[in-house]
Amino acid sequence: MTPQFAVVGKSTPKRDGVEKVTGRTRYLHDLALPRMAHGRILRARFPHARIVSIDATRARALPGVLVVLTGEDVEQHPFGFAKDQLALKRGKTCCIRDEVAAVAAETPEIAEAALALIDVEYTELPAVFDPRAALAPGAPLVHEHLSGNLTHLRYQFTHGDVDGACAGAAATVDGEYRLNFVSTACLGTMVAVADWNLDDRLTMHSTTQVPFLYQRDLAQALGIGGERVRVLQPPVGGNFGRGLDLYPIDVIAALLSRAVRRPVKIEFDRMEEFMAAPGREPCVIRLRTAASADGRLLARDAHVVIDNGAYVSWGSTTPHVMLSTVAGLYRCPNVRFDTTIAYTNNPYSGSMRGYGNLESTFAVESQMDDLADRLGLDRLEFRRRNATKPGDANPQGFAITSCALGECLDTVGEDAGRDVPAPRPGWKRGVGYAGMFHVAGGARIYRSDGCGAIVKLDDFGAVSLITGASEIGQGSETVLAMIVAEALGVPLERVAVVNSDTAVKPWDVGAHASRTTFIAGNAARLAAEDLRRRLLAMAAAFFEEPAERLEIREGWVFVRDEPQRREPYDRIVRAGHYRDGGRALVAEAFYDPPSTMLDKDLHGNVSAAYGFAAQAAVVDVDPETGAVEVRRIVSAHDVGRALNPAAAEGQIHGGIHMGLGYALAEKLVVEEGHVLSATFMDYALLRAADMPALAVRLIESVDAEGPFGAKGLGESGVIPVSAAVANAIHDAIGVRFTELPITPARVRAALARR
């Protein structure tokens, strides 16, 4: 029997929606602290150069300048994923993004003027911009203390007999797929506000997604204890994974603030954002897939080359997820995976929504279509024959519990061509499909993947959820409040969420890997259920009935078999407080999911649940101009249970928009280490008017471990889009594109060559 919920499962507006659409939300860019100074960063002139000298005499003499810092003026400690960079560079620059000096001044204009007065003498060095060329004998060394340009990161995995399976296959497909630099293009550019007080403690106002890891890493970079760093998180104007790391802007803001003992704010303009903010990594995927005559996948063999850029950040760890797609998207018994990740003098990349999965799904799903064609099979039927099912364990040991991939494929197949007007004369129409496999219950990349929660009831019936989870625009505050209201049995409007201060909220590993609803939601549910038991124990004395006979629903406490005997829950709370031996109603919980870290061979069950989806794209192509118009996308998602259906659909809409940009338009142009995309005139974001008709279908598999059966889906909308669109274009004009974005110029050129 389907359980009846009072709050869960009902479409609920996002709590911050009204504030945002009316312009009342105050983002970090809007923050103005008393006596706040303004910082600016001077960046390298060349991608690779020796710093001969820096003379800041003229800048320091400019009225209104408070301090000018270089790498020689401050004590610094290495930071980053591989601890391979300093905030202010010393000795030489390794990419055009490198920070060589910083200014704090009374106004942004004075700080900008001061940068122009800093004289830096360079000796330009030979540079390398291609990861394969970086590994050639005699290539310039990006980091001279290393013996070569190969990073310490390498991901190698083997399961089964790949060569034997390929040798005995009825069909094999080989391809090389090229993915380019992409920007997160957040509306809010990167910004940091540091406030170092007279007690030698630092308060950072940051848009980080990982406040407690950020607190630790920032303290280490500054050479102080983490107890001296407090992190405040204002509303976020976009992140999409950008906030997963510590960056020089954060450390430099803190160094400037320590020097002037005033708050210091550094904010990027749009040009600096394109140049200095991390985005999606460029990579080349070489993939071979084999299948039997009856349409069963036999093997996949993949090698990924990643342009690491000058420093290791999260972009170079994306093979973790690329591998999980190669090994786990559909049943495939034999898998081999290897990587080459090399330093270059290009900008480095960070984490971005989908985290390597868009790239590998593009390659994998392109070959699913090509194999179906070679075997003479219907493309959807080929996917159905290989679809993952509940109870499966993939080659990495991922344990599949709830899974509705087959239902997702059926749904998009039935719905793809519905209500689409006929193409214009001369245009060609195609339909493309793609599946999706991603973590949906966290991803254990640290020893703990947990989150804490505290739930408190006051005399007036107000419920406070103090959660470790970070709200980064995804609607987590709303869904967590819904979980607490449902578990506690109180009206949703009585629940407030507190989550923006590391001095107050409990620990959490951060907002990433589509984990917040599942992990923070379970923590909130456990704490609320504990508080419910405490409230019922108070009510037992009030009603003179055993707690087992009492119920709480929609704000009333009542005797289960005598519902007319009831009292408002807040009266019970007050009665419990105002008596001898009274106690506060507070409960806490920490949820750490039943998952394991990958071992040295990349085996393990990294998530407590896995998400699945399928998309169908209906695309029209004009052979004359190469124009591509996406007419309709049907997106079916296994969500476990949709706790807030409208928010789930909104997440998927946003993901589809981002995925369409990746497929058709977006490319951060980087040539010889220089970023040439400077404005939104150069970087082709899709507009709202460019969006096709969308049909989102939520398939409820109800996961046993998820809060009220839910699974995470924050990234699933973006992942399959580029693959589905590329397959639709191939269906329309018979051309297979292996590089993104698929622009009209590329379509026209490919048709001309054919």
Question: How high is the mean pLDDT of the chain?
Answer: 96
Report the CATH fold assignment for 17-24+450-591.
Answer: Aldehyde Oxidoreductase; domain 4 (3.30.365)
Q: Which residues are within 8 A (CB) of 227 and not within 5 positions of it... i.e. 6 or more apart?
A: none
Q: For the domain 32-125+187-276, what is the CATH superfamily, name and number?
A: Aldehyde oxidase/xanthine dehydrogenase, a/b hammerhead (3.90.1170.50)
The predicted model gives 524-547 an average pLDDT of: 95
C-alpha triplet 730, 736, 741: angle, nearest 5°: 95
**Which pLDDT band holds residue 122 (cuts at 50, 70, 90)?**
very high
Residue pointed to by tokens 């060559």: 753
The pair of structure tokens assigned to 190 is 């990167």
Instruction: Give residue 584's pLDDT.
Output: 83
The pair of structure tokens assigned to 438 is 């991603």
Pairing of strands 463-467, 495-498: parallel
Instruction: Give residue 103's pLDDT.
Output: 98
Per residue in 44-71, pLDDT (tens digit) is: 999 999 999 999 999 999 999 999 999 9
Pairing of strands 428-439, 610-621: antiparallel
Q: Which residues are within 8 A (CB) of 583 and not within 5 positions of it... i.e. 6 or more apart?
A: 576, 577
- The domain ranges of the chain are 17-24+450-591, 32-125+187-276, 283-443+598-753
Helices 521-543 and 476-488 cross at an angle (nearest 10°) of 30
- The DSSP element (H or E) to which 121 belongs, if any, is strand 119-124
Nearest to 394 by CA among 232, 691, 83, 604: 604
The predicted model gives 718-743 an average pLDDT of: 98
Residue pointed to by tokens 């001044």: 105
Q: Which 3 state secondary structure label does DSSP give 17?
A: helix
**Which pLDDT band holds residue 583 (cuts at 50, 70, 90)?**
confident
Instruction: Give residue 754's pLDDT.
Output: 83
Distance CA 4, CA 1 (A): 9
Per residue in 4-13, pLDDT (tens digit) is: 899 999 999 9
Encoded amino acid at 112, one letter: E
CATH 3.30.365.10 matches 283-443+598-753: yes
Distance CA 392, CA 402 (A): 10
Contact, 492 vs 484, CB < 8 A? no
Task: Give the distance between the most distant pair of CA atoms in the chain.
Answer: 88
**Which pLDDT band holds residue 695 (cuts at 50, 70, 90)?**
very high
Instruction: Give residue 1's pLDDT.
Output: 52
Instruction: Give residue 446's pLDDT.
Output: 87
Distance CA 510, CA 503 (A): 16
Nearest to 228 by CA among 248, 198, 207, 185: 198
Per residue in 306-319, pLDDT (tens digit) is: 999 999 999 999 99
Contact, 627 vs 744, CB < 8 A? yes
Per residue in 493-506, pLDDT (tens digit) is: 999 999 999 999 99
Q: Which 3 state secondary structure label does DSSP give 492?
A: helix
How much of the chain, in percent, has pLDDT values that exceed 70?
Answer: 99
Distance CA 699, CA 634 (A): 13
Beta bridge partners of 194: 204, 264
Residue pointed to by tokens 């989150």: 451
Instruction: Give residue 2's pLDDT.
Output: 62
Per residue in 327-347, pLDDT (tens digit) is: 999 999 999 999 999 999 999
Residue 255 has pLDDT above 80, yes or no: yes
107-139 exposure pattern, b = at least 16 Cβ within 10 A, e = fewer: ebebbebbbebbebebeebebbbebeebbeeeb
Per residue in 597-606, pLDDT (tens digit) is: 999 999 999 9
Instruction: Give residue 447's pLDDT.
Output: 87
Distance CA 683, CA 734 (A): 28
Distance CA 88, CA 255 (A): 10
Q: Which residues are within 8 A (CB) of 440 and not within 5 positions of it... i.e. 6 or more apart?
A: 514, 518, 607, 609, 610, 611, 640, 703, 711, 712, 713, 716
Same fold, 17-24+450-591 and 32-125+187-276: no
Residue pointed to by tokens 């960046």: 43
- End-to-end distance of the chain based on CA atoms, in angstroms? 58
Per residue in 196-227, pLDDT (tens digit) is: 998 999 999 999 999 999 999 999 999 999 99
Nearest to 203 by CA among 232, 166, 178: 232
Distance CA 172, CA 367 (A): 9
Per residue in 17-41, pLDDT (tens digit) is: 999 999 999 999 999 999 999 999 9
Per residue in 125-140, pLDDT (tens digit) is: 999 999 999 999 999 9
Encoded amino acid at 58, one letter: R
Beta bridge partners of 432: 617
Residue 533 burial by Cβ neighbours in a 10 Å radius (0-12, 13-18, 19+): exposed
Cα distances from 320 to residues 82, 339, 368, 388, 447, in angstroms, run: 16, 10, 21, 20, 16
The predicted model gives 230-257 an average pLDDT of: 96
Q: DSSP for 159-184, please give it.
A: ES-HHHHHHT-SEEEEEEEEE--B--
Distance CA 748, CA 241 (A): 34
Distance CA 398, CA 401 (A): 9
DSSP state of 720: T
Distance CA 325, CA 360 (A): 6
C-alpha 36 chain-centroid distance: 31
Residue 708 has pLDDT above 80, yes or no: yes
Cis upstream peptide for 741 (omega within 30°): yes
CA dihedral 549, 550, 551, 556 (to 10 degrees): 150
